[in-house]
Amino acid sequence: MILCQNLCKSYTHGGNVKRVLEDVNFVVSRGDRVGLLGRNGAGKSTLIKLIGGVELPTSGRIRRHMSVSWPLGFSGGFQGSLTGYDNARFIARIYDRNYNQMRAFVEDFTELGKQLKMPVKTYSTGMRARLAFALSLAIEFDCYLIDEIIMVGDQNFQHKCHYELFEKRGDRSMIIASHSSGIIQDYCNKALVIHDGQVTAYDDIPLALETYSAL
């Protein structure tokens, strides 16, 4: 279970305070697939980063009673001067996983070939996304955080992403931020609509999509 209680997030820039999320409360249970709906800048990515521990809330708390991935595709944790292989080795050490197994998975999934021997700072955005996605899936989590990353790459790569997430890991919890109504409709059993810093929870996906479309 993931429990968000009275969650608030603000940013200060040039002396001005912008409140992105205010007094957010919701629960994600095991097996839930929760869709995040909101216009650009509404706070979907911010909420995912808070749940993943990439950022800290301004106030409130998040209780995690299951293992949670970092946001799939998030490349902010890469060491740019290290190679793709070196970054995989670093992740393997942090999570106490077998590096050879992780390496084999990353090679197969990313299809980056010799580029894995090159520093990550030389990668294109798409290459970094492939590596980040592969490293996320190389570790088994109870809950996966997904921020539009399933739309990255060519059709073959998208099919691989869908298989790894929605078929192979069909029993896992997921929090999915997406502008695609079809993805939310097909894969989620709950939804959160974010508007003006407020979050409203829905068990009825069609109603959530109707509310979102009216924003």
Strand partners, 64: 2
pLDDT at residue 152 in the model: 61
Domain limits at 122? Answer: 77-140
- Asked whether residue 117 is domain-assigned, the answer is yes
Total-model pTM: 0.86
Least confident segment among 101-110, 131-140, 142-151, 202-211: 142-151
pLDDT at residue 74 in the model: 61
- Asked whether residue 130 is domain-assigned, the answer is yes
pLDDT for 78 beyond 70 = yes
- In three-state secondary structure terms, 3 is strand
Where are the alpha helices (H) located in the chain, listed in sequence order? Answer: 44-52, 84-94, 99-110, 125-137, 155-162, 181-187, 205-213
> CA torsion sign, 147 to 153 to 158 to 164?
negative
Quickly state the pLDDT bin for 153 (edges 50, 70, 90).
low
Q: How far apart are CA 214 and CA 192, in angstroms?
A: 15
- Asked whether residue 5 is domain-assigned, the answer is no
- Asked whether residue 39 is domain-assigned, the answer is no
Q: How many domains does the chain fold into?
A: 1
- Asked whether residue 65 is domain-assigned, the answer is no
Do 182 and 150 touch, CB atoms closer than 8 A? no
- Asked whether residue 177 is domain-assigned, the answer is no
- Asked whether residue 124 is domain-assigned, the answer is yes
- Asked whether residue 200 is domain-assigned, the answer is no
Quickly state the pLDDT bin for 151 (edges 50, 70, 90).
low
Span 25-46, pLDDT tens digits = 999 999 999 999 999 889 998 9
pLDDT for 79 beyond 80 = no
pLDDT for 149 beyond 70 = no
pLDDT for 76 beyond 70 = no
